[in-house]
Amino acid sequence: MTARPDTIAAIATASGRGGIGVVRVSGPLVPAVALALAGRIPAPRQAQLARFRDGNGAVIDEGIVLHFPAPHSYTGEDVLELQGHGGPVVLRQVLEACIAAGARHAEPGEFTRRAFLNDRLDLAQAESVADLIDAASAEAARSAARSLVGEFSSRVMSLVARLTEMRLHVEACIDFPEEEIDPADRAWQARRGEELRAELAAIVSDARQGAVLRDGLTVVLAGAPNVGKSSLLNRLAGEEVAIVTPIPGTTRDHVRATLVLEGVPIHLIDTAGLRDAGDEVERIGIERAWEAIAKAGAVMHVIDATRPDTADNPLLDARLPVGAPRLRVTNKIDLPHPATGREDRPGDASIRLSARTGEGVAALRSWLLDVAGWRPHGEGVFLARERHLVALAEASGALAKAADGTQPIELLAEELKMAQQALGRITGEVTPDELLGQIFSRFCIGK
Ligand SMILES: Nc1nc2c(ncn2[C@@H]2O[C@H](COP(=O)(O)OP(=O)(O)OP(=O)(O)O)[C@@H](O)[C@H]2O)c(=O)[nH]1
Ligand SMILES: [Mg+2]
């Protein structure tokens, strides 16, 4: 037996003054609250004009009442909306009248938590409610809306369904000694494992872009001393955040600036020029530069067009985080420079610009937006969270082991189970014994 939930109430609109303001109430006492404030229980889902009264019968406001009986409401419980005038004092009085009628103040997120507990939303959808409200750009809002209507969840769940099917197949083979398992079965499993891995990789890529829309992208400016990293940072930031001098080794500590492009936060980190020499302070600065590079979401390798020797840095190539996009930025093209083209390399994104004149910087901004996952009319990107990425990575690690194809079938079964559990955490499902039921219903006959 679960305890009967209590009734919660809160001002649902933003604080401050506005044309209208809404107090929302959810729980079993909704009819009593409606009677106390509006003098009647409004017909379901019909806007009705009413005077809102406090406990002494004094009129607080006049507005619209809306009643959504359970379970067809946001929370799945009885819900009452009191839409009055949007002044902070009047809204507080309406809220206090609801409390006097038996409701209590809602905690942050409590309406949405109830929606999840009552299966109105899954976990990923519930999270996207907050993301939609917090969205800093139209693109982030669109991505959150896609998660809210369940696009992210349904892709995860369709993957879980296919994973379940594969698990059934594998579990059915487990009762047999290894040598008696039909090689065709093993081949089917290997194929299916590969398909699932590819689908998971596609989801990971969309989710990763979505996470960048939400949290921003960290981009490190790296390269030899004096190539113009700090000048480029200043140019992008639109202000003199970093010291610029003709002396190689000017920058030691990181200099940070956040740039907001189309609502997407880009966190830029300018670092010390990479070289062997230097005093103690510079050496520490360079060590820190390597640390920043190792953690970067993307790296700009800045090259001096007049000094082709700055184009090569095998160490930089080796120490880039795997999967982090890298851009070769050839700077100082306003100066006479040899036309070697050595700074460009096939397969690498590259841009030629001048931090001094600003030529080519627009192309750099579009590269940053592109790498951050911003699309003009973005399709398919989900506003994922770190938690989703961790779960997806875990599932993908387990599937990679499962797809190996050589391991004993018991281990394969175990890896698949782990992959499924990791994915189930995204939508908040807890379905441990569900699989057993399916096995019995589908495989117990004769096998
Ligand atoms: N002509 C020209 N000069 C530039 C350009 N960008 C930077 N410079 C000059 O190059 C010198 C070095 O610039 P910085 O921005 O300090 O270079 P850095 O890469 O940050 O150097 P360190 O911090 O020492 O690693 C300065 O004298 C700048 O004025 C450019 O696009 N054109
Ligand atoms: Mg510098």
The string of pLDDT tens digits covering residues 3-37 is 678 999 999 988 778 889 999 999 999 999 999 99
Residue 285, ligand 1, Cβ within 6 A = no
CA 174, 423, 298: angle at the middle one, nearest 5?
125
* Residue 107 neighbours by CB under 8 Å, 6+ apart: 8
pLDDT score for 440: 26
More confident residue, 430 or 127: 127
Name the residue at shortest CA distance from atom 10 of ligand 1: 228
Determine the average pLDDT of the residues in 236-244. 92
Residue 249, ligand 1, Cβ within 6 A = yes
pLDDT averaged over every residue in the chain: 85
Helix (H, G, I), strand (E, B) or coil at 272: coil
The answer to pTM > 0.85 is: no
| pLDDT tens digit sequence for 213-227 | 777 889 999 999 999
d(CA 348, CA 326): 7
pLDDT beyond 60 at 72: yes
d(CA 68, CA 77): 8
Q: Are 159 and 200 in contact (CB under 8 A)?
A: yes
Determine the average pLDDT of the residues in 243-270. 90
CB atoms within 10 A of CB 140: 24
Query: For residue 329, which ligand has an atom nearest its CA?
Result: 1
Separation of 249 CA from ligand 2 center, angstroms?
7
Q: Nearest 5°: phi and psi at 134?
A: -85, -5
Q: Which atom of ligand 1 is nearest to the CA of 247?
A: 24
pLDDT band at residue 209 using 50, 70 and 90 as cut-offs:
confident
More confident residue, 437 or 356: 356
pLDDT band at residue 229 using 50, 70 and 90 as cut-offs:
very high
pLDDT band at residue 150 using 50, 70 and 90 as cut-offs:
confident
More confident residue, 380 or 331: 331
pLDDT score for 183: 79
Determine the average pLDDT of the residues in 403-412. 79
d(CA 25, CA 7): 7
pLDDT score for 446: 21
As a whole number of angstroms, the longest Cα–Cα distance in the chain is 87
pLDDT beyond 50 at 433: no
Q: Ligand 1 pocket: which of 229, 230, 231, 352 to mutate (most atoms <8 Å of CB)? A: 231
Separation of 184 CA from ligand 1 center, angstroms?
64
pLDDT score for 432: 41
Residue 255, ligand 1, Cβ within 6 A = no
Determine the average pLDDT of the residues in 422-445. 50
Q: Which range, of 199-203, 313-317, 399-403, averages the lowest pLDDT? A: 399-403
Residue 396, ligand 1, Cβ within 6 A = no
The residues placing their C-beta within 5 Å of ligand 2, an ion, are 229-230, 250-251
pLDDT score for 435: 35
Q: Is 41 left (phi over 0), alpha (psi -120 to 50) or beta?
A: beta
**pLDDT > 70: percent of the chain:** 91
| pLDDT tens digit sequence for 41-64 | 999 999 999 999 998 999 999 999
Determine the average pLDDT of the residues in 342-351. 72
pLDDT beyond 80 at 204: yes
Q: Ligand 1 pocket: which of 244, 293, 302 to mutate (most atoms <8 Å of CB)? A: 244
More confident residue, 433 or 200: 200
Tokens 């000048």 sit at which residue?
231
| pLDDT tens digit sequence for 347-394 | 678 999 999 999 999 999 999 988 887 766 555 667 777 778 888 888
Q: Which atom of ligand 1 is nearest to the CA of 249?
A: 24
